Structure 1
Amino acid sequence: MDLTTLHFEVTDEDQLRKVGRSKEHRIDPQITVGLLVTANGFPLEIAMFEGNKAETKTIIPVIEQFKARHRVTELVVVADAGMVSAANLNALEDAGYRFIVGSRQSRVPYDLGDHFEKHGNYVPDGATIQTSRDMGTGKDKRSRRVVYQYSFKRRRREERAINAQVTKAEKVAAGERPIARDRFVTVTADSEGKKAQVNWEVIKRARFCAGFKGYVTNIDTTVMDGGQVVTAYHDLWRIEESFRMTKSDLAARPVFHRKQEAIEAHLTVVFAALAVARYLQDRTGWTIKRLVRTLRPLQSVTITIAGHQITAQPRLESETAALLDDLADLAGAKTGKPAGH
């Protein structure tokens, strides 16, 4: 599951629409929307919260609501690195859930340092490394299983980004670029003013982390090995894709409603449209954007001339006609009726 925000182009907050941490870096009042989907991206549950409510305080209510409605007994929560804190993971575990969440990149040197000292730092492309990490303090401290996967493709991509950022940092230190919050730049101040330097220690640590992606889970190795944990997490992109679809192709934003009931109705319509779109996408192989672009112009018009009603049907291109035939066949297969009925 994942959460996003939808903003409102208004200036004043109310009990629901509040200024909070925006996914789009906006300062407008917003709401937080939680979406629960299957592994292939089909929507299962949608929920709405105040715009300033922390993401970590919304996940368990969404899951509990889904479990109660559908009488689900077991499920695995897959979420991004925003959920990684001892308190959040303990709350999920205490509620009886198994989880797979992304680990923050900054943890790589600490988690893998001992492993590399004992086994060397060669890691084959696609290989996984199993480690553990104590999270929390005092009575809340728990040992967590951490799975790291190394990808040569990911390393090349991250190395390119690091090299570009190092070049910027060197230009800042040389006075060729203005001092800003560039990565790898350390700014100090003295009587002569601000001075920027390249932080080579941070660069060294970033290069050490390149290519590795970590995942924290409470699922035992006898249930899911490292590769299965990674595969399960990678399905998270489907929910991110669903959010992009609802915001753009299905016009979930901007939201022009004011009352909570109207906003909930708006989200319900968008949720239903996402379910239909996902179904059509899976059955036809067409993208949502292509489906919307093809079907939107299909409108009939009824006019009255001299007391007689005449209905004008849209002219169908061959591609559109083929799609409608496919959809009619799908409907016929579902209902058991001949196509076109």
Structure 2
Amino acid sequence: MVVVSDAGILSAANLIALEDAGFKFIVGSRMVKATDDLQELFDTKGNRFAKGQIVESKRVMGAGAKGRERRVINQWSARRFVRDNWNIDLMEPRSMDIAEVTSQMRKALFVKTTGNSPVVDEGRIARARMLAGLKALQE
């Protein structure tokens, strides 16, 4: 029997417990948590990918002695790229409306609060566009 906490079904501690029990797994990962080596790739080769291109890297999950190295597989898809950019185009004006206080404050991906006022986070928009089309899996 494997005991996992309810603090986040896919937390590093729960994945380690599953692995210690002998289970193998693949976990989908959100691109907002893209590893730094992807940034290194973007800096050296740009963010142009071939259809179906796969970029592999390693990432340590967990802290200290409980940290385990995991393989991260990122795949680019033209179809996903179009959909991701379409979603970004929908969210960007909504974020601007919230920042300009013409729309009610609610959770928006591209808005950060500075002091007491909401501001459009241009860095997040640029990063989302850079990661458009990529999907990550961890093993």
Question: TM bucket by the smaller chain?
Answer: 0.7 to 0.9
Q: TM-score, normalised by structure 1?
A: 0.37
Cross-structure match for 2:80:
154
Please state if 1:201 is matched with 2:138: no
**8 Å CA contact retained: 1:111, 1:133:** no
Hey, what's the Cα distance between the residues in 1 that align with 2:126 and 2:46?
18
Q: 1:87 aligns with which of 5, 10, 13?
A: 13
Secondary structure of 2:73's counterpart equals: strand
Cross-structure match for 1:167:
93
Larger RCO (CA within 8 A; separation ≥ 6): 2
Please state if 1:54 is matched with 2:6: yes
Hey, what's the Cα distance between the residues in 2 that align with 1:140 and 1:167?
42
Alignment map for 1:1-341 (pairs within 5 Å): 54=6, 83=10, 85-108=11-34, 110-189=36-115, 194-217=116-139
Hey, what's the Cα distance between the residues in 2 that align with 1:179 and 1:151?
33
Distance 1:114 1:162, change over 3 A: same
Hey, what's the Cα distance between the residues in 1 that align with 2:111 and 2:42?
28
Secondary structure of 2:101's counterpart equals: coil
Hey, what's the Cα distance between the residues in 1 that align with 2:124 and 2:134?
16
Hey, what's the Cα distance between the residues in 2 that align with 1:115 and 1:97?
32
**8 Å CA contact retained: 2:52, 2:77:** yes
Secondary structure of 1:131's counterpart equals: strand
1:160 CA drift (Å): 1.0
Supply the RMSD in Å over aligned alpha carbons.
2.2
Q: TM-score, normalised by structure 2?
A: 0.83
Distance 1:186 1:178, change over 3 A: same
Amino acid at match of 2:119: Q
Q: How many residues align?
A: 135
Hey, what's the Cα distance between the residues in 1 that align with 2:42 and 2:64?
29
Distance 1:198 1:116, change over 3 A: closer
**8 Å CA contact retained: 1:108, 1:212:** no
Q: Once the two structures are aligned, what percentage of the paired residues are identical?
A: 36
Distance 1:117 1:172, change over 3 A: closer
Hey, what's the Cα distance between the residues in 2 that align with 1:119 and 1:187?
33
Amino acid at match of 2:84: E
Amino acid at match of 2:98: V
Distance 1:147 1:162, change over 3 A: same
Q: Which has the larger radius of gyration?
A: 1
Task: Please list every run of 5 or more consecutive structure 1 residues that lacks an aligned counterpart in the other structure.
Answer: 1-52, 57-81, 218-341
Q: Report Cα offsets for 1:305-325 as digits up to 9, x if no partner.
A: xxxxxxxxxxxxxxxxxxxxx
Distance 1:138 1:105, change over 3 A: same
1:178 CA drift (Å): 2.3
**8 Å CA contact retained: 2:35, 2:59:** no
Q: Report Cα offsets for 1:251-305 as digits up to 9, x if no partner.
A: xxxxxxxxxxxxxxxxxxxxxxxxxxxxxxxxxxxxxxxxxxxxxxxxxxxxxxx
Q: Report Cα offsets for 1:103-141 as digits up to 9, x if no partner.
A: 122222524112334444321121111111111222111
